[in-house]
Amino acid sequence: MANVSLEKVGKTYDRHQVISDLSITIRDGECFTFLGPSGCGKTVILRLIAGFEHLTAGEIFIGDRLVSSVEKDVHIPPEARKIGVVFQDYAVWPHKTVYENVVYPLQMQKIPAAEAKKRTMAAVEQVNLGSLENRLPFQLSGGQQQRVALARALVSRPEIMLLDEPLSNLDANLREEMRFEITALQKQTGVTILYVTHDQEVALAISDRIAIMDKMGRVRQVGPPDEIYENPADPFVFKFMGISNFIPLDWRDGRLFVGGSDSPLAYPVPADVLDRIRRHELIAGCRPYDIELTHDDSSPTRGTIRRVIYLGSIIDYRVVLGMQEIRVQQDVRDAGQGGIPFRDGDPVGLNFLNLKWFENRGLNEEVES
């Protein structure tokens, strides 16, 4: 299979620059996801790699081949790029049967009929649609149509597979199923996958590496899922992935306080970080389950429970701390071990278990579209 190289890629529509100066390499055989809110340009990147759109700047390589270049005036059309594409609306042709849909790429490659039939049936089996090959799309469910699209994209043994939000129209259970099938298919065939989505759960579940994009089309961080989640590069990434809390800090009278309150913060802060906090350069970020709540006075940091919500396996708290409201989540079993449950209005002590440090700007960036 192949890797994909984007070098200083840019795309402008009518003076509106959607992508600028994007340089990224997707490794051979990896599952790489572009994750970001709608309108961030992730689909545009996919379409540029596929060849449906023309570059306005930069170059794109698939494997060793230059497929798009502004400087060298090269644009290899999609049909010559050896790609497989799965669209958000499946794009399964309604007037062709499942078999006719899946065999089409092989017909385009002028593969002799007997071998085409063999490979088509194998692809159909691979996506668990065996015995349905003579059905028309309108007779199939959403999930089945999506599988047809997958089979069709794989049957020609492409170098890379491009998937544009293929699961968003499926219900939750089916999404999980298909996620796993996509990963399994990738492992079987070793094809390089480029995935585009706004759903972080999917991105975390299937990707080898994720590129987080913001609404301006900039890539904020690239890395494996756990790194993005555990070591976010900036507040945007932190906010985008999962639930986040930001806690401003004050340095007064030689102590660290929660910003805008009299509640001191007891946390082992490294000296250099402390310096920067004193200079008002940093803010603390914390995940909801990295906060412990105590009834007693063991923690100097005090807050008030504003709301307790039972979500079955998790208890979700909204806690007023200083001038803001933060979210704390506890496993029901852990909470049970604490003894008495909290109620709305209760005073509470907070212990922070894992604070992340971020620069104190760009906090108001909108994460949603």
Partner 1 sequence: MIRKLFGNFGIAEILLAVSVLILVIVVAVPILLILWTALFVDGSLNTRDILKVLSQPDTYEALKNSLIIAAGVTFFSTITGVFFAWLVSRTDLPLKETMKVLFLIPFMLPPFIGALAWKMLLSPRAGYINKFLSALFGLDGSLFNIYSLSGIIAVETMYLFPFVFIQVAGALERMDPTLEESARISGAGLLTITRKITIPLMTPSIAAGALLVALYSLAHFGVPAILGTERGIYNIPTKIYEQIYQSGGSFVAIRTGTILSSILLIAAGLILYIQNLVLKAGRFQVIAGKSMRPMLLKLRGLKIPLLLFSILYIFITVILPTATIFLVGSLKTYGISFTLENMSLANLKYILFQWKMTKDAIWNSLYLALGAASVTMIVGTLISYSIVKIKVRGRFILEFLGLLPFSVPGTVIAIGVILMWSGKFGINLYNTAWIIFIAYIARYMAFSLKSNSAALEQVSDSLEEAARACGATHWQSLKDIVIPLIKPGMVAAFFLVFLPALRELTTSILLYGPTTRTIGVAIYALNEDGETVYAATLASVALVIIIIGQLVIKRITRSRIKGI
Partner 2 sequence: MSHVKLQDVTKRFGPVVAVNRLSIEIPQGECFSMLGPSGCGKTTTLRMVAGFEDLDEGEISVGGKIFSSSFKNYYLPPEKRDFGMVFQAFAVWPHLNVFNNVAFPLQIRKMPKAEIEERTRRAITYTGLGGSAETYPNELSSGQKQRIALARAIAINPTVMLLDEPLSNLDPKLREEMRFEIKDLQRKFGFTIIYVTHDQAEAMALSDRILVMSEGEVQQIDTPLNIYHKPANKFVFSFIGLSNFLPVEIADSAVYIEGQHDAGPLNVELPPRTQERRLVLATRPFEIDILREGGVRGTVKRVTYLGDVIDYRVMIGNVEVRIQKNRIKEILREGQPCGLKFNRILWYEHQP
CB burial of residue 46 (10 Å; 0-12, 13-18, 19+):
buried
Tokens 């990707």 -> residue:
207
Give whichever of 80 and 353 is closer to partner 2, judged by the CB atom.
Answer: 353
3-state helix, strand and coil shares in percent for the chain, rounded to the nearest 5: 30, 35, 40
CB under 5 to 8 A by kind: which of partner 2, partner 1, none does 243 bind?
partner 2
Edge-to-edge strand list for the sheet holding 245-247: 245-247, 282-286, 356-359
CB under 5 to 8 A by kind: which of partner 1, partner 2, none does 129 bind?
none
Q: Is 339 in the site for partner 2 (CB under 8 A)?
A: no
Q: Is 310 in the site for partner 2 (CB under 8 A)?
A: yes
Contact stretch for partner 2 (CB under 8 A) within 9-17, 151-159, 241-249, 297-305? 241-249
Report the distance separating Cα 5 and Cα 356, nearest Å.
32
Report the distance separating Cα 66 and Cα 70, nearest Å.
11
Contact stretch for partner 2 (CB under 8 A) within 75-83, 158-166, 296-304, 305-313? 305-313
List contacts with partner 1 (CB under 8 A): 50-54, 75, 77-80, 83-85, 87-89, 91-95, 104-105, 108-109, 136, 138, 149, 152-153, 156, 162
Residues numbered 145 to 204 that lie near partner 2 (CB under 8 A) are 180, 200-201, 204
Q: Minimal distance in Å, beta carbon 79 to partner 1?
A: 5
Give whichever of 83 and 256 is closer to partner 1, judged by the CB atom.
Answer: 83
Length of the chain: 369
Q: Minimal distance in Å, beta carbon 325 to partner 2?
A: 10
CB under 5 to 8 A by kind: which of partner 1, partner 2, none does 289 bind?
partner 2
CA dihedral 272, 278, 281, 282 (to 10 degrees): 70
Contact stretch for partner 2 (CB under 8 A) within 54-62, 96-104, 236-244, 247-255? 236-244
CB under 5 to 8 A by kind: which of partner 2, partner 1, none does 83 bind?
partner 1
Contact stretch for partner 2 (CB under 8 A) within 16-24, 46-54, 156-164, 304-312? 304-312
First to last CA, the chain: 35
Q: CB-based contacts of 52: which residues, under 8 Å, 6+ apart?
A: 78
Partners of 318 in beta bridges: 307, 327
Which structure tokens are listed for 143? 């999930």
CA dihedral 350, 353, 358, 361 (to 10 degrees): -20
Contact stretch for partner 2 (CB under 8 A) within 26-34, 102-110, 268-276, 308-316? 308-316
CB under 5 to 8 A by kind: which of partner 2, partner 1, none does 156 bind?
partner 1
Q: Is 141 in the site for partner 2 (CB under 8 A)?
A: no
Report the distance separating Cα 133 and Cα 96, nearest Å.
10
Report the distance separating Cα 53 and Cα 132, nearest Å.
34
| Residues near partner 2, by CB under 8 A | 180, 200-201, 204-205, 225-226, 229, 241-243, 287-290, 307, 309-313, 316, 331-333, 368
